[in-house]
Copies of this chain bind each other. A is one copy, B any other.
Amino acid sequence: MPLAVGGKALNALKEHPVFGFADWCLRGIGQVVFQNNPVSGLIILGALFFNSPIYGAIAVFGVVISTATAVLLQADKGLIRDGLFGFNGALVALALIAFTSEDFHYGAVPSVYLAVYIAFGSAMTAMVFTSLANLLGPHRVAPLTMPFVLVGWLFLFAVLKFHSIDAGPLAKPVSPTQYDGTVQYTLATWYKGIGNAIGQIFFQDNWISGYLIVLGIAVNSRVSAIMALLGANVAAFVAVVYGAPEGAISDGLFGYNAALTAIALGGFFLVLTPASALYTLFGVVVSTWLWASVAIFLEPIGMPVLTSTFVIVTWLMLIGVNGFAALVPVAPADAVTPEANRRRYFKASREG
């Protein structure tokens, strides 16, 4: 019966007065990819440390700050324990290091000024999460990573203008126009591109880390892990067919939003059926194209896309979904794993 690693034993940990906080933070890391499971969080954290101890440490810093902020503000305990206040905080911290470090690949240890700045940014995600949850509540749609995207953009701009934060030049290309369009596609474009796409969700320019993250997803949900891989594969395929630059594909830039859209629509917020599988495929293709679109839109102001494309596409495809009788939505509060969502739905159908 227990498809996911962990289960009951871990739920005991979640309630523990002392270890509980660590559990919530690990779930927070897992929630970046929709996995409410501390073992997933631990494996993903390992994938980050494998690429760079700096990124691993800063992810911990971010998730701790934003989760602690929610605790101090006495937010809903159920949401805190499910790691929902942590994932945006971790992502903001990773983004602020990634885009201020001279070497995007390894990151750099932040100055005290930058560390304070990151702490405020991560803390703010807890407030923005609650506000968006309030706004979206009546529409039964989750804030997704929008708190991260909003706070990330707002905090990234200002950082470039404060003397005490020495922001390097943005080393990482953030738009397809910054890549050479004449490079040939090879086998490595594909297998590195897939790994990097998953890695880019956490700003990791390391394809092996990407596959480790897939493993972290798989211990909680096989379907979500397959969706992540399918999303990245379809994105690479679409990008190749439409002649996108090789570098952007092999760096995983076309795929990271598509992979998240695939996890979100592919069984998590919609019961997995043939119809929702097609709907997910549609969303993945659109996410691939629109990553390029948002990147080109943001280029004049030098801002990275972050996961905005995923959020926009997923929101636009989910907010009205109760108007489509061909699909079965799952309310955010009820979404567990694709497997569990499907079991519950078919059980209810049989009984009803």
Contacts and interface: CB of A to CB of B under 8 A. Distances in A.
A183 interface: no
Given A161-B296, A177-B161, A326-B74, A129 B320 contact: yes
B72 A242 contact: no
Contacts of A321: 130-131
Nearest to A138: B138
A297 interface: yes
A19 interface: no
A162 B323 contact: no
Given A164-B242, A241-B164, A294 B157 contact: yes
Interface stretch (A116-124, A206-214, A255-263): A116-124
A325 interface: yes
A177 to B, nearest CB: 6
Contacts of A109: none
Interface in A103-159: 113, 117, 120, 123-124, 127-135, 138-139, 150, 154-158
A319 interface: yes
Nearest to A327: B73
Copies of this chain: 3
Interface stretch (A38-46, A193-201, A285-293): A285-293
Interface string A65-85: 000000011111000000000
A133 B282 CA distance: 21
Contacts of A161: 176-177, 244, 292, 296
Interface of A: 72-76, 113, 117, 120, 123-124, 127-135, 138-139, 150, 154-158, 160-165, 176-177, 181, 241-244, 279, 282, 285-286, 289-290, 292-294, 296-297, 300-301, 312, 315-327
A120 to B, nearest CB: 6
Name the residue in A127, A150, A293, A296 with the highest tally of chain B Cβ atoms < 10 Å from its Cβ: A127
A292 B120 contact: no
26 contacts: A73-B279, A75-B324, A75-B325, A76-B323, A120-B286, A124-B316, A127-B317, A127-B320, A128-B320, A130-B320, A130-B323, A131-B318, A131-B320, A134-B322, A135-B139, A135-B319, A138-B138, A154-B290, A154-B294, A155-B293, A157-B296, A157-B297, A162-B244, A162-B289, A163-B242, A300-B300
